[in-house]
Chain A
């Protein structure tokens, strides 16, 4: 006897524990299976690109903090690199090294949340999440020591930093770097071979290599699909070519690979930090930059390998003190392009896992 069945629409979000903010997915379900899925954006749209057009070049930096609020340092870096490219300013050597250290610390912090939240989405009851928050907390402590705030740092400036690092920073960082590998090993013991996690993530939400390139995916999502593409290697900024590190890549492009790539990237980041700490020169942290930067008319695109992917700032100047146009290439948004392809045919529970494995921040998706 054939049962009469009917698919139904299920709104996942905007207020849902696993949408990492205010994201909404309109899923059409056939029982538990997703027959169709449409992402709905815009619940956190603040018009940052428009706001940036009315602020001085320096005044935009606090705005960039609020893009990917889990990786504010990387956003600052991408923006100041774009302005420096536009205004042809170069930061002093010490500042570039410090930028590398901070960007890599930020990558670890962001990946810790990404992995923790991802495992939470798989259904773990906050334990891995809180273990990872503990290490993130240590990084936030370091950032607080530098910038005075824990989340929205506003620390980088056009041409360097607003102030030099305090004396107690490097010993604390050294301690963190020496402790962190042990903690990463602990996460691996907790999660990497867990049969349930493997069952939930292996082979789930596969993003094939050609599709990953075609949708302009970047960051761990692209690398998990097997593409060895990292802007730190491909287009080095801040002297990343001076450091030795590997680009971890996945093979299958499934959720498990994305999780593994993030864990491995943390190890590589620690390697970079160690090298940068050894090579850190002394000297000024800010080059002489006029109080109100007036870049010559023109345009510049600077991109960095942010924790979520390729974060780019496209700035157009009309030789005034405010950007004429400031476009943000947000990796979180673009990585979501293939969400429908990755989720249709999977179950509701997988939808959450796949979405969690992409690792987005709504502040960056909606801007």
Chain B
């Protein structure tokens, strides 16, 4: 190994940093400039499709944190169960997506949106209507490739940072 102990390494390092001075910054200015998240983003809230749900409770069983609570009642006339209460305590949710994987009827999806900070502790508990899909709460393509195809492509740093070292 050859080391020239008279500052050549330091000068080389200074040259590297100086070259970086003329590169474009890679950071984004967050609230104004937003990157598109992954098409499979496991965003903040679950999106629940009430029409497909059969109240089987598989999601609740699959949840490692036990944050999903389902109250069902039987409807003997229609010969099926209906959900009375579907409650997700997102305060304890770790967004692992296992419930979405477990759902056999494609009625539970991960949310695509983020920025869901709340001011009150009770607001993180989501029940029935709050979980339904809406324009503000789109579903992500996690586990659903067809949905993913419809979402905009993810912004990648590698596409923005073209400079070769």
Contact = CB atoms under 8 A, between A and B. Distances in A.
Direct contact of A and B (CB under 8 A): yes
A149 B38 CA distance: 8
Given A138-B156, A145-B154, A146-B40, A190 B13 contact: yes
A177 to B, nearest CB: 10
Contacts of B4: 193
Contact of B13 (A58, A162, A164, A189): A189
A294 interface: no
B158 interface: yes
B10 interface: yes
B5 interface: yes
Interface residues of B, number: 45
A59 B98 contact: yes
Contact of B12 (A137, A148, A184, A189): A189
A137 B3 CA distance: 32
Contacts of B40: 145-148, 163, 166
B34 to A, nearest CB: 14
B148 A166 contact: yes
A154 B96 contact: yes
B156 A141 contact: yes
Contacts of A61: 96
A162 B95 contact: no
Interface stretch (B49-57, B121-129, B137-145): B137-145
B85 interface: no
A281 B15 CA distance: 43
Nearest to B101: A162
Count chain B CB atoms within 10 A of each CB in A131, A186, A193, A194 and give the residue with the most.
Answer: A193
Contacts of A176: 158
B150 interface: no
A361 B102 CA distance: 32
B91 to A, nearest CB: 16
Interface in B1-19: 3-10, 12-13, 15-17
